[in-house]
Each structure stands twice: as C-alpha cells, then as structure tokens.
Amino acid sequence: MAEPILELRGLSRRFGALRAVDKVTLAFERGRVHAVIGPNGAGKSTLLNLLSGELRADGGSVHFRGEDVTRAPPDRLSRLGIGRSFQTATVLEGLTCEETLRLAAQSCLRSSMRFFRPSDRYPEVNARAERALGECRMTARRSARAKDLSYGEQRQLEIGMVLATSPQLLLLDEPLAGLGHDEALAVVDLLRAIAVEHTLVLVEHDMDAVFSLAAAVTVLVNGKVLETGTPAQIRASPAVREAYLGEEEP
Amino acid sequence: MTARQRVQALLCAGALALLAVAAVGDRFWLQLFGKAMITCIFAISLDLLVGYAGLVSLAHAAFFGLSAYALAGLTNRLQLVNPLLTLPLALAAAALAALCIGWLSLRAAGVYFIMVTLAFTQMLFYLFSEAPWFGGSDGLYLSQKPLLSILGRPLLDLGNRTAAYLFIFAALVLSYFFLSRLLRAPFGRVLAGIRGNEQRTRALGFSTARYKLTAFVIAGAVAGLAGYLDAALYGFVNPAELGWRQSGLLLMTVLLGGRGTLYGPILGAFLLTFLEHYGARLTDHSSALIGAVVILVVLFLPRGVAGLVERGGRG
C-alpha cells in the first residue's frame, strides 16, 4: 500500500444535534483518484469543507504528509499544497481568465505583499499561469472575462485556478454538478489528464464519472463511512446498494 | 481612441491645466485648485478601499484629520517646521491610527464594518471637539507653516502660495502613480481577487485579512498626506475635518466620479469642489444642489463620471 498523503482520524463535526461528519477515519493515497460519494445530506460537503479549512472540526484530526493540519486556515492549507475547487462557480468577477490564473499563480511568490513591479512582469508567475491555462484548456479564452464564460468553461477555469497554485492534492467539490452532457464529458476528460500527475479527492454525484475516474471510492452515509473499496467492490456491495445505489440504479 | 488612451489624454491635459494655474499665480485660483487637488489625493486613497478592496469605510476622515492635527501639534508644541520631519511623523500617526482602527473594524464585515468605522470617526470627532488641548471645537492655528531650509536658505516654504500649490501638485502626481502601480502589482491583484470573491481568494493561499488590513493602512497614510497638505495650505485645523460628514462627503466624491477607476474620483473631487464653491454663490442651500447632482449621477450614471469618459462621452 502506498503512503497516504492525507489521513483523517476520527474526524467529526456537528451542527446542533446533527452529526454531519461522524468519526470519519480515512486515508487518501498519493497519486490516486479517490472519490467520496453518498446520498444528499450524507456529509460530503461538510467533509470537504473540513479538509480545506473552511470549517473547523469538533473532534479528530487531519494529517497532511504526516503533519497535523486540523486547525490550519484555508490560506495556509493552500500554501502547504492542498488546493480546492468550489462547487458553485466562484470565478472572480472583473478579471479575465489570464488575470485570474496569474493571481492564483502568485502563490509561488513567497509573499504577494509586493507593491511596485506589475504582476505580469514576474517570469515565474507568468510561466505558471501559462501552464495552468494550457492544463485547464482555456488558452484560447485567455482574454475573456471570467463572468462571460459558459458554465462548463467556468468549471475548467476553476480547476485551472487550483492547478496554478501547484497543489500536491486537489480537493474537487462536485466538478460536474449542473453541467450538460458535452460539458461534463469535457471536464471528465480534463480530470483524467490531471489525474496522471496529481492526487485527486473527488466529491461527486455523477456515478458514471466517479466509476470511470476513481481508483478508490468511499461511500458516506449519515456522516459515517459505510464502505471504502475499488469501484468494482463498491458496485458489488449489498450494503452500498441498499443505502445508496438502489435509489439511482434499478 | 480607446478608453485607456482617452483617460491618459484627459489626465495629461488636466495636469497641464493645473500647471498653467500655477504659472498665472492668481491667489484665488491657487487656493481653489490647491483645495481640489488635496481632495483628489484624499479621494483616490478612499478609492483603494471602496473601489478595489470592496471596503466601504466611513473612518477615512479620521486619518486625514489626525495627520492635520499631528502637524499642528508638532509645529505649535515642539516648534518643528521641517517638513522632512513633520511629514513622515504625520503620515506615521495616520498609518498607526489606521492600523488600530482597521485591525478592530475589519473583524466585522459588510454593513457592520461600515457601522464600526462610523463609530470610530464619531469618537475621534467628539474627542477633538471637547478636549481643550486640541483647541476644542474652534480648532487650532498653525504657529508657522512647514519650511525646509538648508544653511539658512529656504528651499521649500509652504507659506508661499505658489510653492505650496506646486508641492500639492507633486504630491497628487506621486500618489496617483504610487496607487496605480500598487494596483497592478501582486498586492493589487490580490485586492482585485478579494473584491471578486474573498473566500475563493483565501483558498488560493492568500491571507485575505492581512491584505485588507495592509490596504487600510496604506489608504490611511495617503489620506494622512491629504490632511497634512490641507493643514499646511490653510494653516488651520478643526474637528469637522475628522467627522463622519467629511467621510460621507468623500464617499460621495468617489461614487460621483466612479469607484474602482482611480481617475474617476479625481474627476469627482474637482466636480464637487467647484459645485461647493459656485453653489454657495448661487444659493444659500448649496448642499441641496450637491445632493441633487449626486442623486442624478447615481440614477443615470451608475459608474459615475468615469463611465462617461469610458464611453467616449456618448450618452
């Protein structure tokens, strides 16, 4: 078994009486696509928000490459190498694709508290932004304003922003949600290309996409891990079928 | 002409016109345009917050006023007249106040941020109006204007009208270039990200709270520069300068001119300075006139006067 890049030990978070994430223990291995699925309200989004620092855990711990990062805020996690994409399109209004990716690429500077040299005159920032532009396949749309992009393009840009920060681990929050068939295919293809060089944690509803992309799948139900295994094992599991797949697949 | 070229042409023509005023040297015009340029510096510093960092602050007059009072205090109590000493000290006072007020008020967001900044401004206003050692509500006169002399020869005398005017002009040009460079630099790009979506920008690895506080301090220091120049030009400071009315009027200036453009607030500052001056000649109710203009602009030019320039003056 490969070394885990991210480990959760008994991670919990409650909202009032609801245990949204309940003592989740999981290991994400380096270099793999690991999907987290589950019915609505299973705690997938809460789990992702705990991993990216948007929410604080009530109990348990998160370890990234052996370091305890349970209490780290989102900006620190990003600098450590955990990049996340957001489900709702969160493109930065007013910026073009190129400007957006250059901003994300500024994270390669030790600090952005730099007040004089224009940001497009930092060779390392430009190089990184350019690479991310290519990786998310938006080179032809570089000068388009982010808010003028189609929904699918916004998702691609969203993924490009994460890539521009050079993450070691990508947390992707439902990258296919709300996309049409063709747009979804384009994003799945993009994710497959990214997975060659990156470790991905994928929270997703789209079952076909999950089973075609992921090497490991974890099923979350009522905030608890029901089962973790390969896509084939998950498909064959009676417990999963009953709890989850039964609703979707006849 | 592209919009960008039009703006550059407008700024160059404006700068030449301002220098021509200095060449004519008429006392009245030097005073009026000097005042307008000070308002420009003040307005572009607020635009950094309102237009770029998305922070609507009503505390901005506090930094203007504190710096003006700092100059008065240094001049009257310590007999410091050298601007090489008083200017950095006054700016440091404004920046320090901005650090404290910003550190506390940036914990609140949205409308609560506006209320907290308003509360600070009111506190300072009452402190300076009531406390006798600041001259109370009458304010303070400067015993002498800033004077830089080397070996007994005056090099820069802000008591001289033309010298003061040119000094203000240079300060405006420098402030404008400083802020426009800053906005294109990595720091300014992070601010643009914060305005677009703060949560997303934070997830890209930027500690957005630190960037907002730094912007608040820089804007406060530039507002302090405007306050220093104001005290130097008039030789007088009073508590109204750090009241919320002044903050509100400045916010109107920025919105009238067009926030998030830097040159828009400059246009707004000139427009309001002249409206105030000539409005007062036309009617006893010039505030109503200004109010009407602001309402019309907000309704029909949502991007301010700058929106007109960008569309090339066509409707």
Nearest CB among A78, A92, A116 relative to B193 is that of: A92
Task: Tell me how close the Cα of B188 comes to any Cα of chain A, in angstroms.
Answer: 7
Indicate whether B147 pLDDT > 90: no
Beta bridge partners of A7: A27, A63
Instruction: Inspect the interface and report whether the beta carbons of B196 and A117 lie closer than 8 Å.
Output: no
Instruction: Inspect the interface and report whether the beta carbons of B202 and A107 lie closer than 8 Å.
Output: no
**What residues of B are in contact with residue A74 (Cβ under 8 Å)?**
199, 202-203
**What residues of B are in contact with residue A102 (Cβ under 8 Å)?**
189
| Smallest CA–CA distance from A126 into chain B, residue | B186
**What residues of B are in contact with residue A73 (Cβ under 8 Å)?**
202, 207
Cβ–Cβ < 8 Å for B94, B223: yes
Cβ–Cβ < 8 Å for B52, B46: no
Cβ–Cβ < 8 Å for A6, A62: yes
Q: Which domain holds residue B224?
A: 13-243
Instruction: Tell me if chain A has a CB within 8 Å of the CB of B174.
Output: no
Instruction: Inspect the interface and report whether the beta carbons of A78 and B200 lie closer than 8 Å.
Output: no
% chain B with pLDDT above 90: 60
Domains and CATH numbers, chain A: 4-248 (3.40.50.300)
Residue A188 tokens, joined:
């799945």
**What residues of B are in contact with residue A76 (Cβ under 8 Å)?**
207
Q: Where are the beta strands (DSSP E) in A129-194?
A: 169-173
Residue B310 tokens, joined:
């960008």
Instruction: Inspect the interface and report whether the beta carbons of A99 and B189 lie closer than 8 Å.
Output: yes
Task: Tell me how close the Cα of A249 comes to any Cα of chain B, in angstroms.
Answer: 35
- In this prediction, residue A87 carries a pLDDT of 82
Q: Which helix (H) or strand (E) holds A221?
A: strand A216-221
- In this prediction, residue B315 carries a pLDDT of 41
Return the residue in A112, A116, A149, A165 with the most chain B beta carbons within 10 A, the one to mutate for interface testing: A112
pLDDT in tens, A32-76: 999 999 888 888 999 999 999 999 999 999 999 989 999 999 999
Mean pLDDT to the nearest integer, B161-173 = 93
- In this prediction, residue A89 carries a pLDDT of 64
Q: Which amino acid is at B286?
A: S
Return the residue in A76, A78, A80, A92 with the most chain B beta carbons within 10 A, the one to mutate for interface testing: A92
Residues 6+ apart with CB under 8 A from A138: A97, A153, A156, A157, A160
Q: Indicate whether B248 belongs to any domain.
A: no
Distance CA B181, CA A114 (A): 10
- In this prediction, residue A193 carries a pLDDT of 92
Report the sign of the C-alpha dihedral through residues B269, B274, B280, B282, in that order.
negative
Nearest CB among B184, B193, B208 relative to A103 is that of: B193
Total domain count for chain B?
1
Q: What secondary structure does DSSP assign to A138-174, as a single string?
A: -GGGTTSBGGGS-HHHHHHHHHHHHHHT--SEEEEE-
Mean pLDDT to the nearest integer, B68-86 = 89
Q: Which of B240, B251, B267 is nearest to B49 (CA)?
A: B251
| Smallest CA–CA distance from A79 into chain B, residue | B205
Instruction: Inspect the interface and report whether the beta carbons of B207 and A165 lie closer than 8 Å.
Output: no
Instruction: Inspect the interface and report whether the beta carbons of A99 and B199 lie closer than 8 Å.
Output: no
Beta pairing, strands A4-15 & A18-29: antiparallel
Q: Indicate whether B58 belongs to any domain.
A: yes
Distance CA A233, CA A73 (A): 35
Q: Indicate whether B4 belongs to any domain.
A: no
**What residues of A are in contact with residue B195 (Cβ under 8 Å)?**
93-94
Q: Is A64 helix (H, G, I), strand (E, B) or coil?
A: strand
Distance CA A44, CA A37 (A): 7
Pick out chain A residues at pLDDT < 70.
Answer: 1-2, 89-90, 244-250
**What residues of A are in contact with residue B204 (Cβ under 8 Å)?**
75, 78, 103-104, 107, 161, 165
Rounded (10°) angle between helices B60-78 and B111-130: 30
Chains A and B: how many Cβ contacts under 8 Å? 103
Residue B136 pLDDT grade (very low, low, confident, very high; cuts 50, 70, 90):
confident
Residues 6+ apart with CB under 8 A from B15: B169, B173
Distance CA A201, CA A214 (A): 9
Task: Tell me how close the Cα of B216 comes to any Cα of chain A, in angstroms.
Answer: 14
Nearest 5°: the CA angle B229, B237, B35 is 40
Q: Which amino acid is at A9?
A: R
Instruction: Inspect the interface and report whether the beta carbons of B186 and A106 lie closer than 8 Å.
Output: yes
Mean pLDDT to the nearest integer, B222-249 = 92
Beta pairing, strands A67-68 & A224-229: unpaired
Phi, psi at residue A84, to the nearest 5°? Answer: -130, 150
Task: Tell me how close the Cα of A121 comes to any Cα of chain B, in angstroms.
Answer: 9
Beta bridge partners of A171: A84, A201
Distance CA B192, CA B213 (A): 14
Q: Looking at A224-233, B166-175, B213-222, which range is the least confident one?
A: A224-233
Q: Which of A25, A26, A31 is nearest to A2 (CA)?
A: A31
Distance CA B176, CA B161 (A): 23
Residue found under tokens 């070996």: B151
Distance CA A173, CA A180 (A): 17
**What residues of A are in contact with residue B192 (Cβ under 8 Å)?**
92, 94-95, 99, 103
Q: Indicate whether B100 belongs to any domain.
A: yes
Cβ–Cβ < 8 Å for B217, B102: yes
Instruction: Inspect the interface and report whether the beta carbons of B190 and A93 lie closer than 8 Å.
Output: no
Beta bridge partners of A14: A19
Q: Which helix (H) or strand (E) holds B148?
A: strand B147-150
Residue found under tokens 């220098």: B19
- In this prediction, residue B243 carries a pLDDT of 85
Instruction: Inspect the interface and report whether the beta carbons of A74 and B202 lie closer than 8 Å.
Output: yes
Q: Indicate whether B162 belongs to any domain.
A: yes
- In this prediction, residue A244 carries a pLDDT of 67
Cβ–Cβ < 8 Å for B169, B19: yes
Nearest CB among A54, A94, A161 relative to B204 is that of: A161
Q: Indicate whether B292 belongs to any domain.
A: no
- In this prediction, residue A147 carries a pLDDT of 82
Mean pLDDT to the nearest integer, B164-178 = 95
Question: CA A34 → CA A156, A184, A228, B3, distances in Å?
Answer: 20, 19, 10, 49
Specify the higher pLDDT residue, B287 or A171.
Answer: A171
Residue B114 pLDDT grade (very low, low, confident, very high; cuts 50, 70, 90):
very high
Q: Is A14 helix (H, G, I), strand (E, B) or coil?
A: strand
Instruction: Tell me if chain A has a CB within 8 Å of the CB of B200.
Output: yes
Phi, psi at residue A137, to the nearest 5°? Answer: 60, 45
Predicted-complex ipTM score: 0.90
Q: Indicate whether B313 belongs to any domain.
A: no
Q: Which of B182, B244, B291, B235 is nearest to B34 (CA)?
A: B235
Task: Tell me how close the Cα of A158 comes to any Cα of chain B, in angstroms.
Answer: 10
- In this prediction, residue A51 carries a pLDDT of 95
Q: Is B302 helix (H, G, I), strand (E, B) or coil?
A: coil
Q: Indicate whether B293 belongs to any domain.
A: no
Indicate whether B90 pLDDT > 90: yes
Instruction: Tell me if chain A has a CB within 8 Å of the CB of B206.
Output: yes
| Smallest CA–CA distance from B52 into chain A, residue | A94
- Half-sphere exposure (Cβ direction) of A22: Cα atoms closer than 13 Å: 14
Task: Tell me how close the Cα of A80 comes to any Cα of chain B, in angstroms.
Answer: 9
Distance CA A193, CA A202 (A): 14
- Mean residue pLDDT of chain B comes to 90
Residue A18 tokens, joined:
């609801």
